[in-house]
Structure formats: C-alpha cells, structure tokens
C-alpha cells in the first residue's frame, strides 16, 4: 500500500484486505477469557476486536484498537506477535494461531481509507503537561492525557516526530507514511508536537514544572550506541547502527549504495536492529554481508521470521564468534574484524546458555565495512537534564512500575530510558500507565 520508489526499498509488504481479515477472524475460537488479550503488553484487547470483526462490526473493532492503543497500527506491524498474543492463541492447539497482528494492521489501515474518526477533541480541563520525546512512550502518554482534556506539548529534539519507529526502522519494514497517519490522529486530539526543540540544558526537564506545566513525562529513549571499543573513533568504514539506520531513513540510498556496493560488510549483533542493518546492506548491493553473533541461531533475540528473511536476502550468519577488536590500517580505514570462536557453556539464571571463548581460536574476518548493532544506551550527560531524578549506573531513570513516577514529584518517565531497549508495545503501555497516574495526581491536587 505504501511505496518507496528507490530500488530494493519498495515499502512495506501488502497487508490483509477485508476478505482476508474477516476469514482470519472467523478462525477465532471466541474464548470467553481470551488469553491473547492477557498477553498484549499494551492491553490492545485482540480478543474483543477480533470478535467484533467476526460479527461484522468493523467500526467497533477499530474503536477497540484505537481506544486502547493510539499506536495500534505501528504495533500491528512491528510487534513480535508470534511470542506475545499469537503465542497464547487457543487455535494453536488445533492448527495455527490466528494472525492477530495482520488483522490489527488491516483494521487500522481500513479506518484511514474510510476516513473514520474514532476521537473528538475533549473539552479542556485547564491543565498543561509536558512530554519530552516523541517516541512510542511519549506519543502514547500525550494521547491519553489529551483524551481527558489536558493541553499536552511534546518537545522533540529531532526534525520529525516518532523516535525509534521513525529513525530506527528501515522503510521496507515500517513506512513513515504509516507513522504519519497515526501522528495526525494524535495531533487531532489537540496534542502539540514541537520538533527541533531539545530539552537538554542543565536541569531543563525539571524546570518545565516551573514554567507552568503541571507534570512532565520524560521519554527520551536511548540514542547512544553501545560500542565494542569506545576508544576507537573516526575510522572510515566503521559505523554504529544508529548512524547507519538514520542515513537509511533519510533516504541517502545513493550515498550508501556507493559505499556498500561490492563490499564485504560485517554487522555485529543478533537482535532485530542487527538484522535490519544486515538485510538492508544486502539490498544496497554489498557483495557479502556477515551477521556476526557470539551465540547460536536459536538464541538470537531477533524474531524467527526476521532471521529467515535475512537468510533469504543472502546474509551469511557467522555464529559462535565473539568480536574482540577491529583491524584498522594506518589510513584509519577499517580492514576487518578480530574474532574468537566460542562454545555454549551452561545456562545461567536467564535460561540462555552462555558463550565461552575458545582459547587459541582467534582469527580475522576481512571486511570493508563494520556496523555495530550491539545495543543502545542513554546519552552521555543525559542525567544532567534532570539532576534530581534518580538514575541507575547505566543512566536509566528509576521509575515506579505501577505509576512511572520518578524520585521527583511531578516528573514521570517511561519507555527505553527506564526499561532499557524494549518493545514498542512496552513503551506504549508505559505511556498509558504514566498518563493514568498523572491524571490521578491532577485530580488529587484539585480536591
């Protein structure tokens, strides 16, 4: 439906049509106490919206999604449904699970095609709330507050809103036109989004309370890339996933294609971001792309379907190998990646078997480009933006799990800046939880 004309970046795969969605909904067993609904971190309630679609109440199904999850479209595309709602589907016992995410995506797209409006702007309640960051957590919180009449202002440091779902996902997985539809719905609720408006000065996030905002929700995300060797910088051919995916999102296809075409690319990591980097590098014409991961194929954090798609795109999976350093020539050009082979040791508390380096197995993988996709972390100095808010040793904000209240009265926080790298639905839920707590606090202040 949404098309990017650049070669090999043709936009998202076509979603369900009406007939497909209804046929899939009719496979639902109509469980009385739907386990799929319990398994959704954002409480989107698939049990209810699928039941309504099955009974031909299409608008009711759409309302269920959007009232529970303002980013229901994004979640329908990006959620790892196979290990969340679909994993709990009772139909699994007699065949395959209902394709919940595809039904959800269809219903949201259908609402746009029919210009169906779920919400009307609420009557103002006289309260203003500031949201710092326009990623999934910030957008979710802002929408929930606006529904109850709050005047919400989102401060976004980057040129456009969306956070990681705009700047951290390739267009063939999630098209920005799709995001823009959901942003429009949020703005129609009365939310103001100020882009190119960073809140990064000393104490600036806390100072918003002195500027007349009744509460502040901090959802800045994680934008510093974790590094294999933080001391290494200014090396031609070495880049982080943050830099690489941002260039991809800015549609710098020709620049990237000229850099990658015919080259050997090594991507470090085993998560969804690493898969995105590797698959897109293959699409951009790299001769060979190696995904280097220290554990086994089944232990990769990336979803199974993502791994299979990367294999189909021609990505080589170099497993049970631990990157230890880079090979750099005297011109500061990357030449390769130093590796040591690993074996899987006994499992630890998480249940995952731990990789253990094999002595004497060091070797070098020749590579022209190395992309580090080993995780993100809070920006250096971010704690100075809210100096009285408690943070942990990783600079993550400490917030109450039930309310997302921080150590400073009136300041709440959620999303990756609290959890560390997590799912879009987790961030959406954080925004909803924080909005509920903020509204309760505002109500108590009036009493």
10 confidence band (pLDDT: 50, 70, 90) = low
- The residue assigned the tokens 């897109």 is 280
User: In whole angstroms, what is the distance from residue 411 CA to residue 415 CA?
Assistant: 14
Q: Which CATH class is domain 227-374?
A: alpha beta
* Residue 24 near residue 103 (C-beta atoms within 8 A): yes
Q: What integer pLDDT is reported at residue 445 of this predicted model?
A: 81
pLDDT number for residue 252: 87
> How sure is the predictor about 3, in pLDDT bands with cuts at 50, 70 and 90?
very low
Same fold, 18-113 and 128-223+377-446: no
- State how far the Cα of 421 lies from the Cα of 297, in Å rounded to an integer: 21
Q: Are strands 224-225 and 369-372 parallel, antiparallel or unpaired?
A: unpaired
The structure tokens listed for 50 are 């699928």
How is domain 18-113 classified at the CATH fold level?
A: Fumarate Reductase Iron-sulfur Protein; Chain B, domain 2 (1.10.1060)
Paired sense of beta strands 334-347 and 376-377, if any: unpaired
Give the list of residues 6+ apart from residue 6 with CB closer than 8 angstroms, or none: 251, 253
The pair of three-digit structure tokens given for residue 125, joined into one six-digit string: 């309640």
| pLDDT interval class at 100 (50, 70, 90) | very high
DSSP-based three-state secondary structure for 287: coil
Kind of pairing between the strands at 411-413 and 215-218 = parallel
What span, in angstroms and rounded, lies between the C-alpha atoms of 95 and 345? 35
Q: Per residue in 162-188, is it b (16+ CB within 10 Å) or e — as a string?
A: bbbbbbbbbbbbbbbebbebbbebbbe
Q: CATH classification of 128-223+377-446 is 3.40.50.2300, yes or no?
A: no
Tokens 């390739």, located at residue:
170
What tens digit of pLDDT does each residue of 274-330 get?
999 999 999 999 999 999 999 999 999 999 999 999 999 999 999 999 999 999 999
DSSP helix/strand/coil, 343: strand
Residue 326: the pLDDT is: 97
Q: Where are the domains of the chain?
A: 18-113, 128-223+377-446, 227-374
């Amino acid at each position: 439906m949404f098309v990017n004309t650049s070669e090999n970046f043709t936009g998202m795969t076509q979603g369900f049509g009406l007939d497909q969605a209804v046929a899939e909904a009719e496979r639902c067993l109509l469980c009385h106490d739907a386990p799929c609904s319990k398994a959704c971190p954002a409480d989107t309630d698939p049990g209810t919206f699928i039941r309504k679609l099955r009974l031909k109440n299409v608008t009711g199904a759409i309302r269920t999604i959007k009232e529970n999850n303002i980013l229901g479209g994004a979640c329908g595309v990006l959620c790892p449904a196979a290990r969340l709602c679909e994993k709990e589907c009772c139909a699994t016992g007699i065949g395959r699970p209902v394709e919940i995410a595809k039904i959800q995506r269809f219903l949201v797209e259908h609402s746009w095609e029919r210009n169906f409006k779920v919400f009307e702007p609420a009557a103002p309640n006289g309260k203003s709330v500031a949201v710092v960051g326009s990623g999934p957590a910030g957008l979710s919180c802002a929408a929930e507050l606006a529904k109850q009449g709050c005047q919400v202002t989102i401060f976004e440091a980057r040129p456009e809103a969306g956070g990681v779902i705009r700047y951290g996902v390739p267009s063939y997985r999630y098209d920005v036109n799709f995001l823009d539809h959901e942003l429009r719905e949020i703005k129609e609720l009365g939310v103001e989004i100020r882009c190119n408006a960073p809140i990064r000065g000393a104490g600036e996030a806390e100072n918003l309370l002195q500027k007349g905002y009744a509460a502040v929700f901090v959802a800045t995300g994680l934008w510093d890339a974790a590094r294999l060797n933080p001391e290494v910088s200014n090396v031609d051919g070495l880049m982080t996933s943050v830099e690489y995916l941002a260039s991809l999102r800015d549609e710098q296809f020709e620049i990237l294609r000229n850099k990658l075409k015919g080259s050997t690319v090594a991507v470090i990591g085993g998560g969804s971001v690493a898969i995105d980097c590797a698959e897109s590098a293959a699409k951009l014409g790299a001769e060979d792309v190696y995904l280097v991961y220290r554990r086994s194929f089944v232990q990769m954090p990336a979803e199974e379907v993502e791994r299979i798609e990367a294999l189909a795109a021609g990505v080589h999976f170099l497993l049970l190998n631990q990157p230890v350093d880079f090979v750099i020539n005297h011109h500061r050009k990357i030449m390769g990646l130093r590796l040591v082979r690993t074996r899987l040791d006994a499992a630890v508390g998480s249940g995952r078997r731990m990789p253990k380096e094999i002595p004497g197995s060091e070797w070098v993988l020749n590579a022209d480009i190395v992309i580090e996709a080993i995780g993100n972390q809070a920006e250096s100095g971010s704690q100075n933006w809210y100096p009285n808010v408690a943070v942990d040793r990783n600079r993550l904000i400490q917030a109450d799990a039930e309310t997302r209240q921080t150590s400073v009265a009136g300041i709440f926080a959620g999303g990756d800046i609290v959890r560390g790298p997590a799912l879009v639905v987790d961030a959406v839920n954080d925004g909803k939880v924080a909005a509920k707590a903020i509204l309760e606090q505002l109500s108590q202040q009036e009493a």
